Chains A and B, each alone.
Chain A
Amino acid sequence: MLNIEDLHVEVDGKEILHGLDLRVPPGEVHAMMGPNGSGKSTLAYTLAGREGYAVTRGRVLFQGQDLTAMKPEERAQEGVFLAFQYPVEIPGVSNANFLKSAVNAVRRHRGQPELDAIEFLKLARQRLKLLNMDEASLSRPVNVGFSGGEKKRNEIFQMWMLDPRLAILDETDSGLDIDALKIVAEGVNALRGPGRATLLITHYQRLLDYVVPDKVHVLAAGRIIKSGDKELALELEAKGYADLVKAAAT
């Protein structure tokens, strides 16, 4: 599904990722953990195609295609979804209009018929209910006045509506209370399955109690320094990153 080889990424002329290798096969959930400043968000933004994240070496293949050659919207249309660590507020644009434009852009790309306003609302209502979200949020401007938890749930809602192949969640668990965390986890689990993959970027092990990963990777100073199964996350929780980072440096 996702195949990253020797990825080097510069931001503002400074190299942040120094040769990252990662394979996420279809059907799997991988967790990417690591200390602050290790390059986790840089990886997320690079995969989503944000301006200013320059790939200087290596390659990123998504379903066999070169992801780095695509515009951000093409990546999304092909099935890449990034749940933002800090969802953006857009005054004047209603959630419903925003998401209907997005859903139909993706559907057009996939050769599916566009949803009309009624079909869209029907689908949106159903998904909102499952996420325990207020239907009124559809008519509110995108993320404006949303609490931290509401913003994160709104990301999961968008993810469901867009039906991605590869979901990248950038610290979606941070700042959530336990109830919101469970809802987010259910949202992620609901999208598990063959033909889909998930990359969970997180600082803490907490989310992994609810979304059990197939693999756990540790990112430090722009490289993956260790990979393992779900036990690795528990070990990190107990011991912290320091020893691992030190061992990798020597």
Chain B
Amino acid sequence: MSVDITSIDPYIRQFAVARSLLPGAGFAWLDAKRDAAIKRFGSNGFPTAKVEAWKFTNLNPLTQTTFHNVVVPSQPALTKAALAPYRLTPDCHLVVFVNGQFRPDLSALDHVPDGTRVVGLGDADEDDLHALIAPPSVAADSRARSLLDLNTAFMNDGAVVHLGRGAVLDPVQLLFVAIPDSAPLAFQPRNLIRAEAGSSATVLETYVSLGVGAYWTNVVTQIAIAPNAILRHYKLQAEGGSAFHVAATSVRLERQAAYRMFAVSLGAELGRNEFDIDLAATDATARLAGVTLACDAQHLDTTIRIDHSKPRGTSSQEFRSVVAGHAHAVFQGRIRVAPDAQKTDARQSSRNLLLSAAAAADTKPELEILADDVKCSHGATVGDLDRDALFYLQARGVDEADARSILIDAFLNELIEGIGGQAARAYFRRACDSWLAKGSRP
């Protein structure tokens, strides 16, 4: 296998310098994990189109720049007021990261309820670190996980959210703010969400940029949901226009655990939002939905792997994209049903709206069903706005541009209406509305 050394070497050199300064350095087991990870990254390199899971997403624009991993980045002055527009609600629990580093001064964690712990990676205990470093339980080609390895090597901050038995945390927001530097920076956050039995939490991840310039967020989030616990997980990816955003979220669900996820991706020049979901015990539920809004030359990819490992699991994937300019949206959804995962109910739907002739969408369902008593369905559409509906609106006096935005809005609203929490629903509607207000950009 040939690997492009020039794109990899700088990271290997950066690691040699950073190694002894990273959190947890000195724990021999953790050092060994980091060493092994950078070694795998060195031999696998950046994923290329030859790796099936990266078939539609070409990382060349990312590999052409060397991003700098800075262990202790300089901390620009920033006020809480500057972050107000990005908050879910003015009074929600808040964990702020600026250029990858936890900022207690900007966070709001004074009233975290009993039985819950929300801290930065610097305050993680050894148990947390073990959980953070655990490989995803959903299997994949190791070459497909090269950037996860890079994160393992460099991870130097992130949020640890721990809910004790029966605890309730509603909601907490993890706000990642990038302030681009003249030299392109890489941020490698690693988050951990552990929900013990019977607990319930709402966690929103938000990625935004204050300022213009190239940077790379390469984030890994590890989630473990114990029996009868529920996690509502929201994510807004609104990175800067010259940014790269690669996220790998791995979720493991125990008996009767529930995971609800809603994501809106509209930022970054190139973005990839990857989810590995393991319904590892009986009667678990995972519902993932999301909206991709892409314009100009953006490339936004959503890749999901769901493993039904045990009986009576329910999963759904409902994703929609609106693609304008010469942007490109990708949806890949894999459902795997293990031989003894009988009575599985798995659904998948991908609908893509192309607003211009140069816009493109690729959607790939992948079903591997090894049990016989299961319900599985998938559907995908790629197309223009409904011309009959457009004419109907115009025939009632609505201008073509307004008619188009009414229909795009409706296409998105059908999913946004499904968000359980009122605050999150309003938050995402605002994000979509402001994207639409910039013009539906045919």
Contacts and interface: CB of A to CB of B under 8 A. Distances in A.
Contacts of B386: 88, 90
B407 interface: yes
Contacts of A84: 392, 395
Most chain A beta carbons < 10 A, residue from B389, B392, B411: B392
A106 B324 CA distance: 29
Given A73-B400, A92-B411, A92-B413, A101 B394 contact: no
B388 interface: yes
A72 interface: yes
A105 B387 contact: no
A110 B413 CA distance: 31
Contacts of A141: 410
A46 interface: no
B90 interface: no
Contacts of A162: 396-397
Nearest to B413: A92
Contacts of B391: 50-51, 72, 88
A92 B410 contact: yes
A141 B386 CA distance: 15
Given A90-B389, A93-B407, A101-B406, A48 B395 contact: yes
A101 to B, nearest CB: 5
Contact of A90 (B392, B397, B400): B392
Nearest to A97: B406
Nearest to A73: B394
B389 A71 contact: no
Contacts of B396: 76, 98-99, 102, 105, 158, 162
Contacts of B12: none
A87 interface: yes
Contacts of B394: 49, 71-73, 76
Interface string A89-126: 11111000111011101100100000000000000000
A69 B409 CA distance: 29
A239 B182 CA distance: 86
Contact of A73 (B387, B397, B409, B410): B397
Nearest to B388: A88
A99 B396 CA distance: 8
Given A91-B410, A93-B407, A93-B410, A51 B387 contact: yes
B395 A76 contact: yes
B395 A49 contact: yes
A82 interface: yes
Interface in A36-51: 48-51
B433 interface: no
Chain B contact residues: helix, strand, loop or mixed: helix
Contacts of A172: none
A89 B386 CA distance: 10
Contacts of A92: 409-411, 413-414
B398 interface: yes
- Of B386, B406, B409, most A-chain CB atoms within 10 Å: B406
A77 interface: yes
The CB with the most chain B CB atoms within 10 A, among A49, A88, A162, is that of: A88
Contacts of B9: none
Interface in A139-155: 141-142
Contacts of A82: 395
B384 interface: no
Nearest to B414: A92
A112 to B, nearest CB: 13
Contacts of A76: 394-397
A105 B399 contact: yes
Q: Specify which of B395, B403, B406, B407 lies most central, judged by the most chain A CB atoms within 10 Å of its CB.
A: B395
A98 B406 contact: yes
B402 interface: yes
Contacts of B389: 88-90
A87 B393 CA distance: 11
Contact of A105 (B388, B397, B409, B413): B397
Nearest to A108: B397
Contacts of B409: 92-93
B398 A105 contact: yes
B410 A102 contact: no
A101 B395 CA distance: 12
A73 B388 contact: no
Contacts of B414: 91-92
A90 B399 contact: no
B377 to A, nearest CB: 19
Interface in B340-396: 386-389, 391-396
A93 B396 CA distance: 14
A88 B395 CA distance: 11
Nearest to B401: A73
A102 B413 contact: no
A106 B395 CA distance: 11
Nearest to B389: A90
B404 to A, nearest CB: 12
23 contacts: A50-B391, A51-B387, A72-B395, A73-B397, A73-B398, A73-B400, A75-B395, A88-B392, A90-B410, A91-B410, A92-B411, A92-B413, A92-B414, A93-B406, A98-B393, A98-B406, A99-B396, A101-B393, A102-B396, A105-B396, A105-B398, A141-B410, A162-B396
Interface of A: 48-51, 71-73, 75-77, 82, 84, 87-93, 97-99, 101-103, 105-106, 109, 141-142, 158, 162
Given A84-B395, A93-B409, A162-B397, 13 more contacts: A50-B391, A71-B394, A77-B397, A88-B386, A88-B392, A90-B392, A92-B409, A92-B414, A98-B406, A102-B393, A102-B396, A105-B397, A105-B399
> Which 10 residue pairs spanning A and B have beta carbons closest together?
A92-B410, A76-B397, A102-B396, A72-B394, A88-B392, A105-B397, A106-B397, A93-B410, A73-B394, A92-B414
